A and B are shown apart, each in its own frame.
Chain A
């Protein structure tokens, strides 16, 4: 069973370009989470999605950032018109469906390191 996969692992963009980060959850997992780690800072929650639904986007910047998790295919984190401050490591995690309201363990992907020139 492959783990959480993210691609690309490294992404370089110039200011003003778009960045698309992909996350394929573990097989059987229907919950996806995106986190951002800025240089020399801790991890911050961005968004929590289930298939075709955004459950919690309270950590997403109001502009330029969007996320989706379609019925088929990977989850996508999209950053439009990137700026230097978007340079960070973006981690995706996935978990199984909740059962009885119990929180499930999250499994993390290797991350995508975005560099904005």
Chain B
């Protein structure tokens, strides 16, 4: 079993829909990252959080440390949101660079 599990693996939505991507992990962590990988391959860090909730524009990330679960929400989705969204955690035992990655959720937003 992977230490970081994401669901769903693939997600197709219509423009304007509210989207939720889930991430569950099985190790103790010091922080969790949400990353976006564009179709061209480039990676952008969206959020880093260790508790609570963060919001940036139409993106919201939440984390529940007790339940070892995080969600990434996209409000009013747009075709330009189409990308692979990756959850990654920093285990308490690893160094701060030792990210453990989920396999990603491929999002496709149709116009």
A residues with CB within 8 A of B: 31, 33, 35, 41-45, 47-48, 55-56, 58-59, 89, 91, 93, 98, 103-108, 110-111, 113
B2 to chain A, nearest CB (A): 9
- Establish whether residues A103 and B30, one from each chain, have CB atoms under 8 Å apart when the complex forms: yes
- Residues on B facing A (Cβ under 8 Å): 30-31, 33, 35, 41-45, 48, 50, 86, 88, 90, 94-104
A–B complex contacts, Cβ < 8 Å, 9 sampled: A41-B103, A42-B102, A42-B104, A58-B98, A98-B96, A106-B97, A106-B99, A108-B43, A111-B41
**Residue ID in chain A nearest B33 by CB atoms:** A106
With both beta carbons as reference points, the residue of chain A lying nearest to B90 in the complex is identified as: A103
Report yes or no: B86 in contact with A43, Cβ–Cβ below 8 A.
yes
Q: How far is the CB of A100 from chain B (nearest CB, A)?
A: 13
A interface, by DSSP: helix, strand, loop or mixed?
strand
- Interface SS, B side: strand
Pair B104/A89 contact, Cβ less than 8 Å = no
The residue in chain B whose Cβ has the minimal distance to the Cβ of A9 is: B41
A89 touches B41 (CB 8 A): yes
B5 to chain A, nearest CB (A): 11
Roughly how many angstroms separate A48 CA and B96 CA in the complex, as a whole number? 8
State which of A45, A55, A104, A110 has its C-beta within 8 Å of the C-beta of B99. A45
Q: For residue B98, which residues in chain A have a CB less than 8 angstroms away from its CB?
A: 45, 48, 56, 58-59
B45 touches A107 (CB 8 A): yes
B6 nearest CB neighbor, chain A only: A42
When the two chains form their complex, are residues B101 and A43 in contact, meaning their CB atoms are under 8 A apart? yes
- Chain B residues within 8 Å of A42, by CB: 86, 101-104
